[in-house]
Structure 1
């Protein structure tokens, strides 16, 4: 297992075929204001790749974009809504099709309200994930080893959790419902970007 840091793009041919786990790190939670700093990606074979974008980046990244936009590759996320918006806003691609472990968790782990990545990894896989670096400066000129390990851990376990959650969705008869949610996520991210991050447009109440 190794963590590889790349500048401005993913090297060609470093990923095996099949689903990829995706996460992002930004300067904050407001997508249009807080720039994209890092995209983490893993093919589930043991290595994690971190693609860092410097301040003022043009976000060209043709190799990374090709993977993200590939309709034949399933993209695994935890809270896909945020990552999809950041990727679309800065990289200009829709990183789908989607499987979101947070949504899957909410559909099958109805016995708890704890659906964070740390809680999910602990219950499903018996492993611990540190969130200590979550709020660190991702736009710094140099990333610390702790930052790199934290960023890698966000994609390290998604393939294993995906397999478990697929089984649980089938067991509870919620596979089709989950898929409908996943299919809608790119549109939900676009609503966020277009100015409807909090308002429920499906509600009868006026805006």
Structure 2
């Protein structure tokens, strides 16, 4: 096999665009980031394959304008595996499809036991893919030839996988379901930025004191500023566990911070003045974070029996009913209906709690038409049964 070349000059890019436009059928697309190494989630390699054209490996940092490629292939079907992971970084460089086929999502809808690309390829094509470079630092330059081969194989087989999945979806009567799901992924709105992103620190939920939270907040903000300016993944500078350990211990001096055994990381000592300044701000501030942040989500279901027994009864019966439908359709229950949607309508059902109202509530939350059609009536029935069971229990008790 010839060595793979990375496309990084205007002339190479123009040739690649012309070749892709001359090909036929869907276009397989993948992107490689440097998650865990870099602060940004930008694409450091974009792979494409089309029958009649071949494989093309683009170097996004070296290509200032993808508009010619976007204009030429936008209306074609793009085939991606776990599209939600790559669409954002593709859009960042101006690549945005009108329609997609998501091979991972199709595999889930078909109830395949393993949906990673290597597993799907092996089951459908009887070809084993090595995944040894999936967690590599793709910002590395030059990229080793073994990495490029791995990246090329990620798209080279994807159209064949798509064809097998198209047939299986048709055989299972799930072609329309797949189309609705793919469209939902493509048009899903990006999550709004968190108001207090520092609250995502792993382990912070165990803290119940505003002063500890203030120190954690200041350390997180200081780390994030350094990570952004150096384009290094925050956890590589100072791990979350180290920030939480400092926030719990509340060191009173710079030396106490330096002596803290759990305070580790590549920048824990070289940037000690930065971290100590953050600790001091957290210790001195009068603007302490709230220990509990209100949100509109229902409480954890484990507390429902005591707090809201009617909702608990509704949820338990509806979960069982939805799980039975998912089993009959041969797919994971979370693909039939997002569990949070069911929790929300069980905690606070519409009035009247009939199939039409429940269907409208689910649709407003984001359920697709096929999901509403498959679940609204059975949820409504479960709610009626739950209400009757509570009435019967009360009557027996009296």
| TM-score (norm: length of structure 1) | 0.82
Shift of 1:63: 2.8
The structure in which a higher percent of residues are helix is 2
Cα distance in 1 between the residues matched to 2:101 and 2:179: 8
Show the counterpart of 1:74: 77
Partner of 1:61: 66
| Contact 2:44 2:59 (8 Å CA) reproduced | yes
Change (3 A) 1:64 1:46: closer
Is contact 1:6-1:49 (8 Å) kept? yes
Matched, 1:13 2:12: no
Cα separation, partners in 2 of 1:186 and 1:149, compared to 1, 3 Å:
same
Question: 1:122-161 to 2 correspondence within 5 Å?
Answer: 122-161=122-161
Q: Unpaired runs of 5+ in structure 2?
A: 195-296, 298-337, 349-398
- Maintained 8 Å contact 1:38/1:52: yes
CA gap 1:29/1:79 in 2 versus in 1, 3 angstroms: farther
Give the Cα separation in 2 of the matches to 1:202 and 1:191: 18
Q: Which moved more, 1:134-143 or 1:38-47?
A: 38-47
- TM superposition shift of 1:96: 3.0
1:88-128 superposed Cα distances (whole Å, 9 cap, x missing partner): 1x1234223100000110111x251x100000011100111
CA contact (8 A) 2:24 2:52 kept: no
CA 1:67–1:8: 2 relative to 1, 3 Å: farther
Aligned residues: 195
Following the alignment from structure 1 to structure 2, what is the Cα–Cα distance between the partners of residues 8 and 174?
A: 43
Question: Are 2:179 and 1:175 aligned?
Answer: no
Kindly indicate which of the two structures has a greater share of residues assigned to strand: 1
Across the aligned residues of Structure 1 and Structure 2, the Cα RMSD in angstroms comes to 2.8
Select which of 37, 46, 52 maps to 1:39: 46
Rg comparison, structure with higher value: 2
Q: 1:142 to 1:58 in 2, by over 3 A?
A: closer
Partners of 1:31 and 1:85 within 8 A in 2:
no
Q: Distance in 2 between matches of 1:106 and 1:18?
A: 24
Contact 1:94–1:186 (CA under 8 A) maintained in structure 2: no
Structure 2 length normalisation: TM-score?
Answer: 0.45
| Aligned: 1:99 with 2:98 | no
How big is the shift at 1:22?
0.2
Give the structure, 1 or 2, with the largest relative contact order (CA under 8 Å, sep 6 or more): 1
Aligned mates of 2:160, 2:103 — CA distance in 1: 11
The alpha-carbon deviation at position 27 of structure 1 amounts to 1.4
User: Is 1:24 matched with 2:31?
Assistant: yes
CA distance in 2: counterparts of 1:40 and 1:94, whole angstroms? 14
Measured in 2, the distance between the counterparts of 1:135 and 1:195 equals 26
Cα displacement (A) at 1:167: 0.6
Q: Distance in 2 between matches of 1:32 and 1:191?
A: 19
